[in-house]
Structure 1
Amino acid sequence: MSMKLEGNILVTGTNRGIGLELVKQLAERTGGEAHIYACCRAPDDTKAEALRDLTTQYPGKITIIKLDMSDEASISAAVQAVKELIGDGGLNLVINNAAINKPDTPAPLSATGKKDMMDVYETNVVGPFLLAKMFLPLLQRAAEMKSPGEGDKMSCRRSAIINISTLISSIEKCPESFAIAQMYPYRTSKAALNMLTRCQAEDFKSHNILVTAIHPGWVRTQMGGEQAPLTPLDSVHGMLSTMSSLSNKDCGMLLDWQGNPIPW
């Protein structure tokens, strides 16, 4: 059964974990008109073998794009490559999934240095900021090309940015989990990503571009660890179902993978 997502869809951080599963399920469940641009830092590396296998499994459905979210020149080159491939079309959905976590969890204050803070901020916040800024013309074009559904003007089928955030970005909920995972760089970067989401939601709403942050749950990945209760398959299934139903009321919100709001 096809999902309610379509058009040109770009996903970052797709060589493993949640990003790889996003590409897989999008390829499986979207209609024939959808095309996925799967971005990763080293497309030819052995770590991207599973991603390359997906392009063979779904011929003509996936294009791999080289993208390092910590490198402005790499972001610019990736945007130009996508523009050339899309041509006169627009970009309907950007999923900012790529993120790093330094140092290793629990990342207490004593183990965290300036470089950790800056490296994580650069990838997790500045990267999504630049990507949205550079892709804005293509997102605007998509919003202009596709007529809105009844009632709501915004949707992930028309033009949207989804920033993958986290429950531990919540300032209100910080005391509930801080003792087991201090994670200064990761927490603060994702809180900043939430503000970026909020700012872009205000900035882009005049163009009918939806911007929303989503927490994927605690997922059993290299970053999430083996104790995490959610599989990538279940997390991504829930997130894509949530994305399919987003509308005007969800713009600028932080939601969990099932669509429930998370306090700032």
Structure 2
Amino acid sequence: MAGFHVRSVLVTGSNRGIGLELIKRFIGKPNPPEVIFATCRDPEGVRAQELKNLASKHPNVVILQLVSGMEPTRAYKQSRILSPETTDSASIKAAAIKAEAHLGGTGLNLLINNAGVMPPSTLESATPEDMLSVYNTNVVGPLLVTQAFLPLLKKAAQGSNQKGMSCSKAAIVNISTVLGSIEKTPETFSFMPVVSYRCSKAALNMLTKCQSMGYKQDGILCSALHPGWVKTELGSAQADLTVDESVSGLIKVICELSEKHHGVLMSWEGNTLPW
């Protein structure tokens, strides 16, 4: 961990849960990033108040509005199949432009695609609207965010003197889940079916693997991380881990990511999980 020197990091879904705790941990590091981009859907909303308080005390925290998906409660009210426009690509591009201005030509070292949704769904209850809304947030969102910030990631990689791959150089970390592991499904399905979520995270795992193939020549590390079952708004109060426990593990894993973890799904404990 001693060699972990990230100048800039961006975390999506930073106003609560794992995303907010990641921001706090980066702030609290002995060598904190010079720029910490924290994105959320509504920076002026009540749900972003804690994040705004952090930013007011720490000048290196920059809040960016970024809509990478659709709130599931809205999705359920739709009487038609959702279109790709429910992901606000304009807000993503605008966030990338603002980030570039803050970075002053140095590029972005670490992108953490954390924003996601997990509405209840079973094989019997899942609807086209539910499936497409969750896929839109959990897969299309990370895809578009990565596309928008890719030039900054490439710039960071090109400007680095480091050999090999690491988050200190340039990296994409997608927050996924073991529930998206096809091989592990027999072990996990009975206690948590959440079909739309599982399918979307399996797709996110494939996206991660594709990114690892496509961006390898650019020197950009690409990994997926399983944070565990966490006591958050998404994970429920019955979950095994506190946010603190999960993020402590995630930060340790992120700090130690290297070329051998490129294109790999790992747990918050640092164990490699099967796709």
TM-score (normalizing by structure 1): 0.94
SS in 2 for 1:94: strand
Letter in 1 for 2:192: A
Task: Please tell me the residue identity of whatever aligns with 1:93.
Answer: L
* Equivalent pair of 2:13/2:116 in contact (CA under 8 Å): yes
Measured after TM superposition, the shift of residue 232 of structure 1 is 0.8
Give deviations 1:86-109, integer Å, cap 9, x for gaps. Answer: 12111000000000123x3xx212
Q: Measure the CA separation in 2 of the matches of 1:161 and 1:44.
A: 27
> 1:197-224: CA deviations, max 9, x gaps?
0000011010110000000011111111
- Please list, as runs of the form range in 1=range in 2, the aligned pairs for 1:195-234 lying within 5 A after superposition: 195-234=206-245
Does the CA contact (< 8 Å) of 2:41 and 2:67 recur in 1? yes
- Give the Å deviation of 1:34: 2.6
**2:202 is the counterpart of 1:191:** yes
- Aligned pairs for 1:76-115 (under 5 A) are 76-102=93-119, 104=120, 107-115=121-129
**Counterpart pick for 1:128 among 136, 142, 157:** 142
Residues in 1 aligned to 2:183 and 2:222: alpha-carbon distance in whole angstroms: 22
SS at match of 1:108: coil
Give the whole-Å Cα distance in 2 for the aligned partners of 1:2 and 1:251.
20
CA contact (8 A) 2:26 2:32 kept: no
Secondary structure of residue in 2 paired with 1:214: strand
Question: Deviation per CA, 1:29-63, whole angstroms, max 9, x where unpaired?
Answer: 152553100000000000011111111232x1200
Structure 2 gap segments, 5+ residues each: 70-87
Name the structure 1 match of 2:131: 117
Contact 1:108 1:182 in 2 (8 A): yes
Describe the SS at the equivalent of 1:110. coil
**Contact 2:157/2:218 (<8 A) preserved:** yes
Alignment-mate amino acid for residue 161 of structure 1: I
Equivalent pairs: percent with the same residue? 45
* Structure 1 residues 3 and 62: CA distance shift in structure 2, 3 A: farther
State the 1:81 CA deviation.
Answer: 1.4
RMSD: 1.5
Q: How far, CA to CA, are the matches of 1:32 and 1:233 in structure 2?
A: 18
Partners of 1:79 and 1:157 lie apart in 2 by: 20
| Native 8 Å contact 2:176 2:227 kept in 1 | yes
Structure 1 counterpart of 2:38: 38
Q: Distance in 1 between matches of 2:150 and 2:30?
A: 23
Give me the whole-angstrom Cα distance separating, in 1, the residues matched to 2:90 and 2:135: 17
**Is the Cα–Cα contact under 8 Å of residues 2 and 31 in structure 1 kept in the other structure?**
no
2: CA distance, partners of 1:31 / 1:138: 22
Distance 2:154 2:233 in 1: 35
Asked if the contact 1:8/1:36 (under 8 Å) is kept, the reply is: yes
Can you give the 5+ residue segments of structure 1 that lack an aligned partner in the other structure? none
State the match for 1:148 in structure 2.
162
Q: Paired residues, what number?
A: 257
CA distance in 1, matches of 2:268, 2:191: 22
Q: Do the aligned partners of 1:3 and 1:29 also contact (CA within 8 Å) in 2?
A: no
Q: Which residue of 2 aligns with 1:54?
A: 54
Write the distance in 1 (CA, Å) between the matches of 2:32 and 2:270.
26
Query: Secondary structure in 2 aligned to 1:39?
Result: strand
CA–CA distance in structure 2, aligned partners of residues 2 and 158 of structure 1? 14
Task: Verify the 8 A CA contact 1:55 1:63 in the aligned structure 2.
Answer: yes
Q: Distance in 2 between matches of 1:190 and 1:42?
A: 24
Q: Residues of 1 paired with 2:51 and 2:198: CA distance?
A: 28
The SS at the match of 2:269 is: coil
Partners of 2:35 and 2:103 within 8 A in 1: no
Q: Name the CA distance, whole Å, in 1 between partners of 2:41 and 2:33.
A: 26
Contact 2:165 2:259 in 1 (8 A): yes
1:19 aligns to what? 19
State the distance in 2 between where 1:224 and 1:214 align. Answer: 15
Report what 2:90 is aligned to: 73
Runs of 4+ in 1 over 6 A off after TM superposition: none
Give the distance between the partners of 2:3 and 2:258, measured in 1 at CA: 16
